A and B are shown apart, each in its own frame.
Chain A
């Protein structure tokens, strides 16, 4: 049973989710949360609060110790093989540690997410150039990812996450190493994706990107929901 029985237009449903890393690190406890399709959602909290863990649960990089998680109507942790692959193609993730392939060019790194869903090479090329333009990286097209600065790598990771036009975008610390101009570019791109219909969850320490937003902000403290403010999920 993987079809949603809860809310048809919610992208994410979490019910009493906990995560304990072995041996006994309680990263998340009893998180219940519902995020609508098309919503932009901020996840904040001190270092070690559990933001990354929550995102990893959503993309099935980690399995929850307890509780139920539904992504786009699927209990993502019960999916396997081709079904899991298919839903992962619809989830773009910009990892906190980037996970770039150091010995591949920037263009190749971004292309990977599109290659696995068999996009045409011409379309891939065009999309890569377009994204590099938006993120002020046009001149890095053929640079090896390993030779980039951290700020540049961060943007390449983001470009890869959004390249395949996923319906759910998970972004972990997208602006940690960036100046304000570049940060604005990054947020621009994410807003664009959001307007195009993507659900976006951003985990961040950077107050400047969520301070004046209309979106909901969830604060985690020691693995629990401390506060949920803003927005009006109607």
Chain B
């Protein structure tokens, strides 16, 4: 208990002496958390959209000939060889004809003159609903194209590709802003603590001489780092939440954002961001103080 009393007293002294640079650090950490969380939020929401759009994602493989049961089994095996899929459905020429005529409704009499097998048989492949299958849908379609007896493979090529590249771009930005977060928080915190150490060199040297343990000297600085990480993350996320509500208010009503739910982070994600921020700041302060103690 006396240890923590001493630690808190020391941390209080640190704050009192260097509060301007402490605040600057807090702002820097907060800002980088905000930046990272913003892009991460966008990314996360895009994944949601991707999931929704992925619901409709289906590859249709048109076949030259109607496959017999043996052939069906073989095709099934070949398709699942490539990747797990949600569903594989064989559509015979007859089924295709029925479907088509149902779609035509009252106009179905235009089909009267045509043979019932004028439409090709096909396979409907529904990939698993995740981003990975979205990402490789093109590869998948190329693969399906090479299956024996395939005439042509169809899917919503245009939007899938565009959407996929956009998600890729955003994920790149997430990675970049994440690295920025890592760099700024570690270095800014390390720098501030180095300043404090230089400021109080005489005192820290004296503490060593009168027999302060490394923990006695180190812990206040670590606490400072932890606090920077915690407060910085809270500030960053709070700011992001404000921006989020503002956007929601601004764009409520019919519009693009109404196509899907624009959602904020859930509890565990917020918790993880805070923990990451705290860890980074603690690492920053630890390296600084360790450099001093090792001398």
- Residues of chain A having any CB pair with chain B under 8 Å: 59, 61, 81-82, 84-91, 93, 99, 101, 112-113, 115-121, 160, 164
The list of the 8 closest CB pairs from A to B, nearest first, reads A88-B211, A89-B211, A118-B2, A116-B212, A85-B213, A113-B210, A85-B211, A101-B203
Q: Can you pick out 6 interface pairs between chain A and chain B where the beta carbons lie within 8 Å of each other?
A: A81-B214, A88-B209, A101-B202, A113-B210, A118-B3, A118-B6
A121 lies within 8 A of B5 (CB):
yes
B207 lies within 8 A of A112 (CB):
yes
A112 lies within 8 A of B206 (CB):
yes
B202 lies within 8 A of A117 (CB):
no
Contacts of A112 in B (CB 8 A): 206-207, 210
Known: A115-B6, A118-B3. A89 touches B210 (CB 8 A): yes
A99 lies within 8 A of B209 (CB):
yes
User: Total A-B residue pairs with C-beta atoms closer than 8 Å?
Assistant: 53
| Closest-CB distance, B63 to chain A (whole angstroms) | 76
Alpha-carbon distance A164/B216, docked complex (angstroms): 17
Highest count of chain A CB atoms <10 Å: which of B206, B211, B212: B211
| Closest-CB distance, B291 to chain A (whole angstroms) | 16
| Closest-CB distance, B209 to chain A (whole angstroms) | 7
Alpha-carbon distance A113/B208, docked complex (angstroms): 10
Name which residue of chain B comes closest to A99, CB basis: B206
Q: What's the tally of chain B residues with a CB closer than 8 Å to chain A?
A: 16
Contacts of A101 in B (CB 8 A): 202-203, 206
B210 lies within 8 A of A88 (CB):
yes
Alpha-carbon distance A89/B213, docked complex (angstroms): 10
Contacts of B5 in A (CB 8 A): 121
Chain A proximity mask over B94-124: 1 for CB below 8 Å, otherwise 0: 0000000000000000000000000000000
In the complex, which residues 200-248 of chain B have their Cβ closer than 8 Å to any Cβ of chain A? Answer: 202-203, 206-214, 216
A59 lies within 8 A of B3 (CB):
no
| Closest-CB distance, B66 to chain A (whole angstroms) | 81
B3 lies within 8 A of A61 (CB):
no
| Closest-CB distance, A97 to chain B (whole angstroms) | 11
Name which residue of chain B comes closest to A119, CB basis: B2
| Closest-CB distance, B294 to chain A (whole angstroms) | 11
Contacts of B213 in A (CB 8 A): 81-82, 85-86, 116
The listed residue (A81, A93, A119) touching B209 by CB distance below 8 A is A93
Alpha-carbon distance A59/B3, docked complex (angstroms): 24
Alpha-carbon distance A88/B210, docked complex (angstroms): 6
Alpha-carbon distance A179/B159, docked complex (angstroms): 94
Contacts of A160 in B (CB 8 A): 210
B211 lies within 8 A of A87 (CB):
yes
Contacts of A121 in B (CB 8 A): 5
B203 lies within 8 A of A116 (CB):
no
| Closest-CB distance, A98 to chain B (whole angstroms) | 10
Known: A85-B212, A89-B211. A120 touches B2 (CB 8 A): yes
| Closest-CB distance, B199 to chain A (whole angstroms) | 10
Alpha-carbon distance A119/B202, docked complex (angstroms): 22
Chain A proximity mask over B254-290: 1 for CB below 8 Å, otherwise 0: 0000000000000000000000000000000000000
Contacts of A164 in B (CB 8 A): 210
| Closest-CB distance, A13 to chain B (whole angstroms) | 21
